[in-house]
Structure 1
């Protein structure tokens, strides 16, 4: 199937042939092979591929006219982090109960995704709306970092229960 895609690309003599048809051919074949292993996953991938092919002109226009080359590169790095680095990280603490590489990479990917969305929203939205969305993203990021840290989350619970007695004593006076 890959050889057929290469031959079809080589025989196309247009100025800008693109590779959409060839990649769709290869992915369709791989989705067909995947049907033997997991039918729901194959159906989800087929639906995603169909949606991408249906909106390819809009996506192409968005990538050409709205995104800068650095933003495309950063998106590829984020996708590589999530799809390639995250599955390979061990999901067990290495140095004490706090440092879990899998959790750290998950948090890093989440923070980078929120930062990328805030950056794109700043470019695409009006200034007032972008500042509001950026502030909301900042609150989300800081609370996520606090919750993801095991000692901080447990410490917060302990402080709330200890503080409840103090609060009751303060209201009695």
Structure 2
């Protein structure tokens, strides 16, 4: 190693040790404190120097630290039976060795370790008081679905047209569950009125369909928050419309310019309905509240995924069987399941000259209408009559605003 690299490594190892040592020393009284600022700093330097001297020396140094840590634990176990301090000291030695290879990574991990040590009390409250048993079960189910099951699924399509794969179907289900969890957490933090609106808007950039479904589930479980849930679902559609504009503009700028009035009218009309619903939701409790239902329903998430997969299969079959006419029809069907994929299809047809800009302009309006129809039906199915009426009213306003913008 060059002189400058050696200096950076030693400095990173020393910084990690000092930072972790300060946190440990501030959080524990002297009788129960096994290692403080000086000890962690020295152990960090020890790990770095030992690594520079060779792997054998580093292993011997690490074993020595482990033995001394074990002996010290025998003296402090009565006052502090936990193993956090012992693990932190061993990790300081390891990060000291890592600093000799990658000083930036070692420093970043050291900061992360210090944050985890400092967050002892909030994390204990989170695990023991704030999270209910049902919420923990939902979080574990979502984590298993996203991190265990999804990586094992195949990307290869299962149909002759290449439209649907097991990974795609499962990903949609996971997305519905994730949106439900996001809304649940936001409601806990900010209350029904603000929390659901924030969660709905940002969920719309991922999937407004999933947002409509998950907010409908919440409205069914908590009828008092139906208006706030409907406003959140429509905000998700507003976010989806913004992404729709970006997608069309990226594929066909000419089509975006032609359809600007339609898209602006649709957005303004939808925003007006959201503002009306949000104002009516002023009576809803705005303090952070503990939702009584589950964050999501696994069966409904899988049902939505299967429905979208079925629509995608039908659209692919129509496109393969009926040519260009089938492509246009299938685009409208695709919009029932995924509005942005349909937007790409219309914009590509306009950009390649398959259809004139005026026809593509009506196609944009047709995609918005088709998507609104599907989400209205989904709103009634997931959230009941009142939620369905409110969401459908907002989506009808979106389509009407688009028609007025088109005619204007």
TM-score by length of 2: 0.31
Residue 30 (structure 1) aligns with? 94
State the SS of the aligned residue for 1:126.
Answer: helix
Q: How does 1:8-157 map to 2 (within 5 A)?
A: 8=73, 12-14=77-79, 17-72=81-136, 74-75=138-139, 93=156, 95=158, 96=162, 98-99=164-165, 101=167, 112-143=177-208, 153-157=340-344
Q: d(CA) in 2 for partners of 1:63 and 1:85?
A: 25
Aligned-CA RMSD value: 4.4
- Unpaired stretches in structure 1, ≥5 consecutive residues: none
Displacement of 1:30 after TM fit? Answer: 3.1
CA shift in 2, pair 1:143/1:43, >3 Å: farther
Displacement of 1:23 after TM fit? Answer: 2.8
Contact 1:9 1:19 in 2 (8 A): no
Q: Once superposed, which parts of structure 1, at least 4 consecutive aligned residues long, lie more than 6 Å away?
A: 80-86, 103-109, 144-147
Contact 2:99 2:106 in 1 (8 A): yes
Contact 1:118 1:137 in 2 (8 A): no
Of 345, 349, 357, the match for 1:164: 357
CA deviations over 1:73-105 (Å, ceiling 9, x no partner): 55456567767777x65896465475384x777
- Unpaired stretches in structure 2, ≥5 consecutive residues: 1-61, 211-239, 244-308, 310-333, 363-405
Larger Rg: 2
Q: d(CA) in 2 for partners of 1:107 and 1:42?
A: 37
Contact 1:114 1:137 in 2 (8 A): no
Q: d(CA) in 2 for partners of 1:43 and 1:107?
A: 37
State the SS of the aligned residue for 2:207.
Answer: helix
Displacement of 1:12 after TM fit? Answer: 0.4
| Higher relative contact order, structure no. (Cα contacts within 8 Å, ≥ 6 residues apart) | 2
TM-score by length of 1: 0.61
CA shift in 2, pair 1:58/1:41, >3 Å: same
